[in-house]
Amino acid sequence: MSNASTLERVSAKAAKSITSSEAFQNHLESLENAPKWLIDLKTEQWEQFSSLPMPTPKSEAWRFARTGNLSLDKYQLSSDLTPSEIEDAQKNSHLIESYSGKMVFANDQLVEKKEATASLSQAGLIWAPLAKAINEHGSLLRKFLLTFTPDLGSEKFQALHGALFSNGSFLYVPVGMEVTLPFVAYHEICGHGAAVFPHTLIIADAGAKVHLVDIFQSTGANTKNFACGMASIFAGAGAQVSYQAIQEWNLETLSFHLNSVSAERDADVQTVTVNLGSHQTRSEQHTCLSGPGSNVDNFSLSVPTGNQEVDQRTLQTHKAPSCRSNMLYKNALMDDSRTIFSGLIKVEESAQQTDAYQTNRNLLLNGSAEANSLPGLEILANDVKCSHGATTGELDKEQLYYLLARGITRKKAEELLVFGFFEEVFSHLENDELREHLNSWIGKKFHVDPPTGNPVTNS
Q: What is the residue-wise DSSP string for 215-229?
A: EEEESSSS---EEEE
Cα–Cα separations (whole angstroms), residue 96 to 5, 202, 438: 42, 19, 12
Beta strands 240-248 and 209-218 are: parallel
**Under 8 Å between Cβ of 350 and 380:** no
What part of residues 430-459 is at the interface with another protein (CB under 8 A)? 451-453, 455-457, 459
Smallest separation (angstroms) from another protein to the CB of 294: 28
Minimum distance of another protein from residue 162's CB (angstroms): 40
Q: Which is nearer to another protein, 60 or 398 (CB)?
A: 398
Element spanning 228, H or E: strand 226-235
d(C-alpha 297, C-alpha 372), whole Å: 22
What is the nearest approach in angstroms of another protein to the Cβ of residue 83? Answer: 42
Size of residue set near another protein by CB under 8 A: 30
What 8-state DSSP symbol labels residue 59? -
Determine how β-strand 324-333 pairs with β-strand 354-364: parallel
Instruction: Select 370 or 436, whichever has its Cβ closest to another protein.
Output: 436
With contacts defined by CB under 8 A, name the span among 32-40, 162-170, 341-349, 414-422 that binds another protein. Answer: 414-422
Pick from 56, 423, 440, 444: which binds another protein (CB under 8 A)?
A: 423
> Residue 350 CB: number of other CB atoms within 10 A?
12
Residue 414 beta carbon to another protein: minimum distance, rounded to whole angstroms: 12
Q: Which member of 192, 417, 428, 433 binds another protein (CB under 8 A)?
A: 417
**Distance of closest approach, residue 359 Cβ to another protein, in angstroms:** 13
User: Residues 354-393 vs another protein: string with x where CB under 8 A?
Assistant: ----------------------------------------
Nearer to another protein, 198 or 451 (CB): 451
Shortest approach of another protein to residue 423 CB, angstroms? 3
Contact 259, 299 (CB under 8 A): no
Rounded to a whole number of angstroms, the minimum distance from the CB of residue 56 to another protein is: 40
Which one among 201, 422, 429, 446 touches another protein, defined by CB under 8 A?
422
Among positions 383, 399, 432, 440, the unique one binding another protein when judged by CB under 8 A: 399
Q: Are 386 and 347 in contact (CB under 8 A)?
A: yes
Which residue among 1, 4, 221, 405 contacts another protein (CB under 8 A)?
A: 405
Minimum distance between the CB of residue 390 and another protein, rounded to whole angstroms? 17
- The residue within the footprint of another protein, chosen from 419, 429, 442, 450 (CB under 8 A), is 419
CA distance 115 to 40: 31
**Residue 410 Cβ, how far from another protein at the closest point, in Å?**
7
The strand pair at 101-106 and 109-114 is best described as: antiparallel
* Beta carbon nearer to another protein, 53 or 453: 453
Asked if residue 122 binds another protein (CB under 8 A), the reply is no
Strand residues in 277-353 grouped as ranges (E): 280-289, 295-302, 309-318, 324-333, 338-347
Give rounded-to-5 percent helix, strand, coil for the chain.
Answer: 25, 35, 40
Measured between alpha carbons, how far is 297 from 242 in angstroms, rounded to an integer? 10
CA distance 224 to 32: 29
Q: Residues 413, 382: contact at Cβ < 8 Å?
A: no
In the bound state with another protein, the residue whose beta carbon lies nearer, of 37 and 401, is 401
Which CB sits closer to another protein, 390 or 408?
Answer: 408
- Summarize as ranges the residues that interact with another protein (CB under 8 A): 396, 398-399, 401-410, 412-413, 416-417, 419-424, 451-453, 455-457, 459
